[in-house]
Amino acid sequence: MRTIGRFLFLLVLAGFGAGAAPAATLDSSVAVTDPATLQALERGGLSISRLLGPAIGLTRDVDNRGLFSVRALTPVRNAVKQEIADEPATSPDPYVAGLAKSKDASQKFNPKYIDDNGSTLDLTGVVNRMDRGYLGHTECGEIRLIYRFHYSVEEKPGERVSSRLPLTMSLVFNARPKTATGRASKDRPRAADGSCADVARRWLAAGGKDLPPEQLAAWLRSEDGPLSGAMLNSSQIMRLELNMQVLRLSASTRRDFGGHAEYLLKIFKWDPATATFQESRMENQIDRKTVLADRQAFAKWLLTDRNIYDLDRGRLIVDEKFLATSAVSVAPGGMARSQNNIAYGLLDDAAVDKALKDYVASGNALRTIKSVAGFNPRLNEMSCTGCHQTHGIAGFHYTGADPASEPRRNAVFVPGSAVFFADLPRRLAIVEQFAAGQHPDFSRGFAARPDAKFAEVLKGTDLYNGWGSICYRGTDESFKDWSCGEGLRCAGVHE
């Protein structure tokens, strides 16, 4: 796959001359990020309207415009417009909530864009998330198609204003198709069978393709590709995930942080019975009010050997009874902002310390959480708000790069955050394990710091211990290895 040159590295195969191995990138076999390829894929059938069409009974040929008027997405539209209307009174930031008395709505997302026929959703990424196969609802993980909101509204008669907005929607598919047909090929020695191994082998074959965008898109959608109609279709739709900036204050208004932005996070599960997306509880997004009302019940559930094991390895699934249906993260400041530390104060430090010591005394080993100080950040980064404010791009981990036609003054050149790119080697290793018929190791290190076993793959990218990476000054066992590369020092940004 093609991506930003900064992340380029070469695969060297023994016994072959220079140039024999195709150029590989960090996103090879785990994501499609090239704008031209994505535009070709969208034209070739991966527009959100075409994918939803069979599921929602759309018979007309639509081009995504006015999509929120479709019945299946009405609950999404209504929820978003209500959240906008409630801002800033419901803001988690006391200063911002105090602005509710003002009649000025210029700082909020303009709700008229939602209903305007000039508004649409552009495909900005296709991401292989087979690394989520441990969740139980799909043994092969997920495939995500990420769309970014694009508006073109008529401000004055004959004059339209057009741009992309900070709103993304992920259409999430079960990676394992319900039906799959195909034939053997030199890239895929065994015939397609719809198994996890087959899905993985197709993605690995895609990573070895060095084709122009139009040809690559055509191959990805072909009978042999991972995005063929048999391998990715409406029968596999699971949910929509929404991330949008609902409010933004300028630096002149919010001087202490040099500005302020709030991002709404929501999940809408697909309901086949009603052919609509319905608001649902969010994966691992702890509802503070619910837990604070009975902290003992939460501690009793979490501080067990089984859940400590899963939390330590980054694969904890929080019980649904403790989850929220909506969340707001704030920026800038990342994890230095209390509003993003959803897990803060939910557990007694002494109880956590005892549980960890008892866990080790029972003969268990801890990989990442080696202290109370490591327990809370680990729990927090597994929530929606904690994850999205861990080294993200203003509340996003994937925005998608803009096509060449976008004016440079308004363009996004890097498609994803440092966390997105740093996690790709781990995801690729899992795809390779699936392809080999093995049971994958789904464990992961802290989101803010790639696992040390991938340091060599990330060498030279600044993603592991280079400039701009997250580091640590101290001696705590959980973080003491978070050092800097030669010639760099660890300095606080938000103290």
Decide: pTM greater than 0.85: yes
Model confidence at 19, pLDDT cuts 50, 70, 90, reads very low
Distance between CA atoms of residues 113 and 163, nearest Å: 11
Which pLDDT tens digit goes with each residue over 178-210?
Answer: 854 444 444 444 446 779 999 999 999 999 999
Which pLDDT tens digit goes with each residue over 382-436?
Answer: 999 888 888 888 778 998 888 888 878 778 888 889 999 999 999 999 999 999 9
Model confidence at 322, pLDDT cuts 50, 70, 90, reads very high
Q: Tokens 């001087």 identify what position?
A: 255
Share of the chain above pLDDT 70, in %: 90
| Residue 332 predicted with pLDDT over 90 | no
* Nearest alpha carbon to residue 318 among 358, 287, 349, 289: 287
pLDDT of residue 444: 93
pLDDT of residue 62: 56
Share of the chain above pLDDT 90, in %: 51
Distance between CA atoms of residues 322 and 160, nearest Å: 45
DSSP state letter for 45? I
pLDDT of residue 185: 42
pLDDT of residue 252: 79
Nearest 10 degrees: CA dihedral of 90, 95, 98, 102? -100
Kindly list the domain boundaries of the chain, sorted by start residue.
Answer: 25-284+408-445
pLDDT of residue 67: 72
Helix extents (H) in 221-348: 288-293, 295-302, 305-312
pLDDT of residue 409: 79
pLDDT of residue 61: 56
For residues 6-24, average pLDDT: 36
Which pLDDT tens digit goes with each residue over 47-82?
Answer: 988 888 877 766 655 556 667 777 888 889 899 889
pLDDT of residue 391: 83
Which pLDDT tens digit goes with each residue over 35-49?
Answer: 999 999 999 999 988
* Nearest alpha carbon to residue 96 among 277, 313, 260: 260
* Least confident range of 140-149, 360-369, 467-476: 467-476
Contact 262, 245 (CB under 8 A): yes
H/E stretch holding 429 reads helix 418-435
Q: Which residue has the higher pLDDT, 66 or 359?
A: 359
| Residue 14 predicted with pLDDT over 80 | no
Q: Which residue has the higher pLDDT, 287 or 59?
A: 287
pLDDT of residue 56: 74
pLDDT of residue 188: 43
Mean pLDDT estimate for the chain: 86
373 class by beta-carbon count within 10 Å (0-12 exposed, 13-18 middle, 19+ buried): middle
Model confidence at 493, pLDDT cuts 50, 70, 90, reads confident
Q: Whole-angstrom distance between the N-terminal and C-terminal Cα of the chain? A: 39
State how far the alpha carbon of 443 is from the alpha carbons of 96, 133, 301, 450, in Å.
38, 11, 21, 12
